[in-house]
Chains A and B, each alone.
Chain A
Amino acid sequence: MNAHELATAFEETKSGFFLASEREQLFRAAFDDAAVAMLLVSPEGTILRGNAALCALLGYTGDDLQGLEVLDLTHADDRPEAQAVMPRLQSGELSKFSVEKRYLRKDGEPVWVEVAIAPVWTPSGDLLCFVTQIVDLTARRDAQQKFRMVFDAAGIGISIGAGGMLTETNAAYQGLLGYTAEELSRMHYSEITHPDDRDLDNQAIAQLASGEKASFAVEKRLLRRDGATIWARVTVTTAPDGSFGIGLIEDITDRRELLARTVEAAEAERMSLAADLHDGPIQYLTVAALRLDRLVNKLARDGHEEAAVDARQVRDEVSAEMSSLRDMMTELRPPVMDERGLDAAVHDTLQTVLADTETRYTVESNLDGVRLAPELETAIYRLIREAATNIRKHATAGHVSVCLDTRAETIDVTIIDDGSGFDTNQNNGGHVGLITMRERAESLGGTLRIETAMNEGTRLHASFPCHTARS
Chain B
Amino acid sequence: MKDIPLNWFLYFAAASFSIGLIGVLVRRNAIAVLMAIEIMLNAANINLVAFWRYGTPPQAEGPVTGVMVAIFVITIAAAEVAVGIGLILLCYRRWNAADVDRYDSLSG
Mutual binders A and B: no
- B residues adjacent to A (C-beta < 8 A): none
